[in-house]
């Protein structure tokens, strides 16, 4: 059995605790192909229901494509702003919630719900397990990127149609995540939303239930 040494374990936790969602700190430096390949290989080694591997990765480098996606963000974000009220709205509007143009590379992670056929081991009861599998690939990608000192920002304030149209994604393929990748000037030591007073991390004790669900308060 392959054993993880203490130093290796520490590195894994260090990567997990120092991973951040990055929007404003991207540098233009190119990500070398071998580094990108390692990150994508890590994503491709995520767990998947029935070993379905439903993901694909669309790599975005073109300025023109990024501009289209940015326009899509601007529209979706204007819609989003109307959903917040008062002080919260002002606070929301002041946040930078994407780095589409600044990041040298964008990656759209998708889910092919038809891959390997209609009956998939483990997805027979809950059909959404394929979507969850693609999200596992996103997390692997995010952590591998952090281990390479590369920042990732997930941009979900985008309509799926914009991703379908701009990236030529077939109708039956579901866009799961649009991720901005690049080297960064810095990684925050805590989530930016926490730093800016949007929300705090919940305490561990408030989310653990022993044996059965217990009502707990969440601030």
Least spacing, CB of residue 142 vs ligand FNR, in Å: 8
Query: What CA–CA distance (Å, rounded) separates 155 from 26?
Result: 14
Single out the residue of 43, 108, 140, 154 in contact with ligand FNR (rule: CB under 6 A).
Answer: 154
CB of 193 to ligand FNR, least distance (A): 4
| Min dist. Cβ of residue 98 to ligand FNR (A) | 6
26 binding ligand FNR? (CB under 6 A): no
Q: Which is nearer to ligand FNR, 50 or 162 (CB)?
A: 162
CA distance 6 to 206: 29
Q: Establish if 108 lies at the interface with ligand FNR (CB under 6 A).
A: no
Residue 108 burial (CB count, 10 A): 23
**Whole-angstrom distance, CA of residue 41 vs CA of residue 184:** 22
Q: Is 102 in the site for ligand FNR (CB under 6 A)?
A: no
Q: Which is nearer to ligand FNR, 104 or 151 (CB)?
A: 151
Residue 110's Cβ-count burial label (10 Å; 0-12, 13-18, 19+) is buried
Signed CA dihedral, 19, 163, 114, 57: sign only? negative
Are the CB atoms for 152 and 180 separated by under 8 Å? yes
Mask 177-206, x = binds ligand FNR (CB under 6 A)?
A: --------------x-x-------------
Q: Name the one residue in this structure whose structure tokens are 């925050």.
A: 188
Residues that bind ligand FNR (CB under 6 A): 20-21, 23, 97-98, 154-157, 191, 193
């Amino acid at each position: 059995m392959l054993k993880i040494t203490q130093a290796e374990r520490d590195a894994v936790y260090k990567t997990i605790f120092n991973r951040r969602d990055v929007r404003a700190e991207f540098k233009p430096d190119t990500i070398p192909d071998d580094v990108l390949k390692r990150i994508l290989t890590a994503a491709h080694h995520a767990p998947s229901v029935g070993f379905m591997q439903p993901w694909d990765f669309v790599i975005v480098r073109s300025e023109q494509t990024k501009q289209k996606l940015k326009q899509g963000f601007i529209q979706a974000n204007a819609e989003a702003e109307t959903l917040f009220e008062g002080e919260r709205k002002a606070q929301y509007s002041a946040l930078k919630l994407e780095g589409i143009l600044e990041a040298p590379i964008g990656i759209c992670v998708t889910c092919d719900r038809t891959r390997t056929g209609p009956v998939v081991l483990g997805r027979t009861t809950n059909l959404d397990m394929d979507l969850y599998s693609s999200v596992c690939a996103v997390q692997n990608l995010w952590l591998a990127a952090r281990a390479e000192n590369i920042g990732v920002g997930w941009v979900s304030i985008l309509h799926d149609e914009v991703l379908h149209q701009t990236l030529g994604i077939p109708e039956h393929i579901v866009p799961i995540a649009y991720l901005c990748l690049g080297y960064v000037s810095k990684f925050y030591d805590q989530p930016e939303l926490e730093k800016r007073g949007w929300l705090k991390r919940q305490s561990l004790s408030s989310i653990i239930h022993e044996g059965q669900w217990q009502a707990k308060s969440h601030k």
